Every structure is written in C-alpha cells, then in structure tokens.
C-alpha cells in the first residue's frame, strides 16, 4: 500500500533569479492534510503546478502514488482532484452539466455519474444552482462549483490552491468537513491558504514557503500562529538580506 500520496524531491523552477521555487522537498501522506502558507508571490501556486505536472521543473522530481508525474498513467491522474489556476467549469454550461462532464472526464463510470453529482451537490450545498450557467454564478458559488468538479470523483490525491477564496462562512465550513472526511477516508491533501486560523482547523501539517523555499513549519495546535509565521518569514528575509 502506498503510504505517501505525494513525494517531491528537490523541485526547482526559476522564472527569474528572484522568482520561482528552489529545492523543495515535500511529502503528503495518506490521510494527511498538508497546508502551504506564505506571502503573496512566495511560490505556493508554482509548487502546486509542479506537483501536478502542469509545469516542468528545471530540476527535481515529483511522484503521485509512487508514479513520476512526468510519466504517470491515466489511471493515476483519474485519482487526482485539483483546483489550481482554473476551475473545471465552462461558463456557458449549467452547474449540473458541468458536474456531469467533470465526472465523465475523471473517468466516473456512466452508471455512477448521477450519484457522484448528487453526493457532491449535497456536500457543497449547490442544489439551488444546478440549473444556473456557470458564468451567471456569484464568485463564491462558481468556486463551490469548481471545488465540486475537482472532488466529485472521490480522488485519493487532492491539490487545492486557496480553495476558500470567495467562499462564505457556510462554504468554508462545508469545505472543511469535506476535506476532513476525505482525509479520514485515506486521501492525501495538499492545500494552500492565506487564512492561518482556518488552516489550523484542518491541517495536520503546515509548511511555510518564503521566496520560493520551505523555511519551516507551524504547529497547527500552536497558540499564536500569526506571530510564529512572521517570525519564520522575517528570519528568512534577514538571512537572505545578510547573504546578499
């Protein structure tokens, strides 16, 4: 049985000398929610795109369920759910059609599509919007639809970039329960967020990214996460300043 859903070793991708990510080692275990936090531009999205094979690294490797992402077969990708950059929803299609399409694209057998759509619609409370075209949804409901499209096929590896963006408090709670349930069921979840309190409620592990590198971790049960976060970031900034 694969114990680690995601393993990244030495992942680097430079956009310029000062931008990108450098030498990232990262793992997400089965049943674990691993959160990435960092300031704007720290490198979280770049790291997630590398993990998903959406971006080619300059060096380093990443494996999902033991398969190198450069060569992973379709069966591995069918067990991955992600929302990074763009939601898998088409503006001209209504929510129901988008979800049916997402299920089929993720390889859900035709006979199970209806149940998969019903389950995720209940989980994320999208019932009122099934007949609404995606472009007519509010930002938060479009985000819910995108999350539904990413999660309805019951992926065992989940990668979500700032999934609470635009969600109202009810949406945040619904997503939290979904992620906790999925992790309890054995999924490995990599998630980024700017909301330290929310991250602390769900994450087993919190990793701080700064200037494209991992600079430490935060204790999800710690008392003053904000202070601990800024201490790590400022220490790193000072070291970088001293080295320059």
Residue 4: closest CA among 34, 36, 24: 34
| Contact pick of 5, 7, 28, 43 for ligand ATP (by CB under 6 A) | 43
Interface region with ligand ATP, contact rule CB under 6 A, candidates 43-51, 131-139, 149-157, 168-176 = 43-51
Q: Distance between CA atoms of 116 and 148, rounded to whole angstroms?
A: 10
Q: How far apart are the first and last CA of the chain?
A: 46
Position 81 contacts ligand ATP (CB under 6 A): no
Nearer to ligand ATP, 43 or 155 (CB): 43
Distance of CA 241 to the CA centre of its chain: 31
86 binds ligand ATP (CB under 6 A): no
Total number of residues shown for the chain: 244
Taking CB under 6 A as the criterion, the residue among 6, 33, 34, 38 binding ligand ATP is: 38
Contact window for ligand ATP (CB under 6 A) among 41-49, 56-64, 129-137, 224-232: 41-49
44 binds ligand ATP (CB under 6 A): yes
- Per-residue b or e along 126-163, where b marks 16 or more CB atoms closer than 10 Å to that residue's CB: beebbebbbeebeebbbbbbbbbbbbbbbbbbbbbbbb
Q: Of 6, 20, 34, 143, which one interacts with ligand ATP (CB under 6 A)?
A: 20
Which DSSP state fits 126? -
Asked whether position 186 contacts ligand ATP by CB under 6 A, the answer is no
Q: Is 19 in the site for ligand ATP (CB under 6 A)?
A: yes
Which residues bind to ligand ATP, rule: CB under 6 A? 15, 19-20, 38, 40-46
């Amino acid at each position: 049985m694969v114990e680690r859903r995601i393993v990244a070793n030495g992942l680097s991708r430079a956009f310029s000398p000062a931008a990108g990510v450098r030498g990232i080692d990262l793992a997400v275990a089965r049943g674990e929610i691993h959160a990435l936090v960092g300031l704007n531009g720290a490198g979280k999205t770049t790291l997630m795109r590398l993990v998903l094979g959406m971006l080619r690294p300059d060096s380093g490797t990443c494996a999902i369920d033991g398969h190198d992402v450069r060569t992973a077969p379709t069966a591995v990708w069918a067990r991955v759910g992600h929302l990074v950059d763009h939601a898998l929803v088409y503006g001209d299609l209504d929510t129901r059609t988008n979800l049916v399409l997402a299920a089929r694209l993720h390889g859900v057998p035709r006979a199970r599509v209806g149940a998969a759509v019903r389950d995720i619609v209940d989980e994320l409370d999208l019932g009122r919007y099934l007949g609404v075209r995606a472009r007519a949804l509010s930002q938060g409901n479009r985000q819910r639809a995108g999350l539904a499209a990413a999660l309805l096929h019951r992926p065992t590896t989940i990668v979500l970039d700032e999934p609470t963006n635009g969600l109202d408090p009810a949406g945040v709670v619904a997503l939290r329960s979904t992620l906790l349930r999925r992790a309890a069921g054995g999924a490995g979840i990599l998630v980024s967020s700017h909301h330290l309190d929310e991250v602390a409620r769900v994450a087993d592990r919190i990793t701080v990214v700064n200037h494209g590198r991992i600079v430490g971790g935060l204790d999800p049960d710690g008392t003053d996460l904000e202070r601990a976060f800024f201490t790590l970031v400022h220490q790193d900034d000072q070291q970088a300043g001293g080295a320059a």
